[in-house]
Amino acid sequence: MVEKIIVKDILGKKPFNACVEYERRLSVMETNIAKIHNSKRKDRFKEGTYERWYTEAYRIYMNNQRDQELYDKLKKDLCVIIPTHRYQRVWLKACLEGVASLGYFSILSYDNPFFQEGHSLDTLLPKSATLKLADHLCFKPRTFHSGVGVPHMWNMLFAVNQAKELGFEYIFCINGDFIMERPENFEKLREMMGDGDMFPLAWNPKKPSCGTAAFIAKTEHQVKFWKEYAETMYQNIGNAEARLGKFYIKNKLKVVHFEPGPLSHQMPNPKSTWYNTIGLRHLHAEHKIRNWTKQEPIEEKYFDKEYFPPPGKHILEKYWRSGDKKFLQQWWGAGKGRRK
């Protein structure tokens, strides 16, 4: 494993600390001010000069304090990877808000939007405020393979290798259309994982199959897996879930799982350890199922409405504003055979 990045102080002896650096700057500045007042140079300084010095020192401190939040995250043993693409933008803000609250370094691995002719970037990327919720943005190379599996593979391949190079022993992967209702309980999942190599949302050792939408795993195994996937992507040996399941079985790695058998995670499932612990929900699937089965829609607060396509957007906005059930009837009808 690569050694962790530890940002050192000005003397290169201790980890950088913004408060200590601020005190050092103030001490040096006040020593210089005292020297100036005891010399002929003091006449060169106009009223307000020292105040500007203190203001500048405080501005530097605030910037250092923000940077230290990053340095502290880099010291931790886990980072979060969020693989996603433009069709998940309607849920991505809610996803990243939960991720940001965890306090871990986050890598948003976004399907490359820069080479799609005929599309402006604002039709492909989330809003700047959403992107800023992540600590780092990762874009895969330009690829042309159709389908979702191969682009996802490239997203993960680059993200897990960045995690490795930054010295993170573990990764928590969560797709961009998932949310955590109770992210404050995430450490409980880590405790449940113990000395395991992988703790997935979904696991079926009989197939075998391992869910890729949400999991905690040791980085070294993930680096090896996605490298093997890239090398064999044109071989007919299964999708990502099947490949991942075979990989952990073949290498005799410890997979932690608590459910008695395979579960569906398309809707909130009270039998799911992940749902019961952090309130993990797959909003993209849940949104479609609620429409097809004539249920109430997902809570309004989870939608980034700018990316919510019609006709469902206009109908549900009327429902949220009025509470009139006739708009629910319209939404259920609008969903038949069409994207909402």
* CATH code of the domain in which 135 resides: 3.90.550
Query: Measuring CA to CA, which residue among 134, 179, 132 is closest to residue 303?
Result: 179
Q: Which residue type does 197 have?
A: D
pLDDT digits (tens, 9 = 90+) for 159-175: 999 999 999 999 999 99
229 and 287 both lie in a single domain: no
pLDDT for residue 266 is more than 80: yes
Instruction: Tell whether 56 is covered by a domain.
Output: yes
Q: Which 8-state DSSP code applies to residue 268?
A: -
Backbone φ and ψ of 217, nearest 5°? -150, 160
81 and 205 both lie in a single domain: yes
Instruction: Tell whether 83 is covered by a domain.
Output: yes
Mean pLDDT of 83-94: 95
Output the pLDDT for position 61: 85
Mean pLDDT of 138-164: 90
Strand boundaries in 16-167, DSSP class E: 78-84, 105-110, 136-139
136 and 162 both lie in a single domain: yes
Rg of the chain over all Cα atoms, to the nearest angstrom = 25
Instruction: Tell whether 31 is covered by a domain.
Output: yes
51 and 169 both lie in a single domain: no
Helix residue ranges per DSSP H, the chain: 18-37, 49-75, 89-102, 128-131, 149-165, 186-193, 219-231, 240-250, 273-278, 283-292, 312-322, 325-334
Output the pLDDT for position 4: 82
Output the pLDDT for position 335: 57
Q: How far apart are CA 239 and CA 15, in angstroms?
A: 44
Instruction: Tell whether 214 is covered by a domain.
Output: yes
Output the pLDDT for position 123: 86
Query: Measuring CA to CA, which residue among 176, 172, 76 is closest to residue 131?
Result: 176
User: What token pair was written down for 104?
Assistant: 């871990």
- Which residues, in sequence order, are CB contacts of 19 under 8 Å at separation 6+? 61, 65
Q: Which 8-state DSSP code applies to residue 234?
A: T
117 and 219 both lie in a single domain: yes
| Structural domain containing residue 219 | 76-281
Task: Give the end of a domain, one of 72, 90, 115.
Answer: 72
Q: How far is CA 70 from the centre of its chain?
A: 15
pLDDT for residue 338 is more than 60: no
Mean pLDDT of 317-337: 86
Indicate the pairing of strand 78-84 with strand 170-174. Answer: parallel
Output the pLDDT for position 103: 97
Higher-scoring residue by pLDDT: 73, 337? 73
The answer to whether the peptide bond before residue 208 is cis (omega within 30 degrees of 0) is: yes
Instruction: Tell whether 84 is covered by a domain.
Output: yes
209 and 306 both lie in a single domain: no
Report yes or no on whether pTM surpasses 0.85.
Answer: yes
Q: Lowest-confidence range among 10-24, 154-168, 181-195? A: 10-24
pLDDT for residue 41 is more than 70: no
Output the pLDDT for position 269: 87
Instruction: Tell whether 9 is covered by a domain.
Output: no
pLDDT for residue 340 is more than 70: no
Output the pLDDT for position 43: 55
Indicate the pairing of strand 209-210 with strand 203-204. Answer: antiparallel
Backbone φ and ψ of 207, nearest 5°? -65, -55
Task: Give the end of a domain, one of 72, 91, 114.
Answer: 72
252 and 310 both lie in a single domain: no
80 and 227 both lie in a single domain: yes
61 and 181 both lie in a single domain: no
Q: Lowest-confidence range among 45-49, 134-138, 278-282? A: 45-49
Instruction: Tell whether 63 is covered by a domain.
Output: yes
End-to-end CA distance of the chain, in Å?
Answer: 45
271 and 292 both lie in a single domain: no
Total number of domains in the chain: 3
For the ranges 56-60, 79-83, 229-233, the maximum mean pLDDT occurs at 79-83
Strand boundaries in 111-165, DSSP class E: 136-139
Instruction: Tell whether 2 is covered by a domain.
Output: no
pLDDT for residue 30 is more than 70: yes
Output the pLDDT for position 333: 87
pLDDT for residue 339 is more than 50: no
pLDDT for residue 268 is more than 80: yes
266 and 126 both lie in a single domain: yes
28 and 55 both lie in a single domain: yes
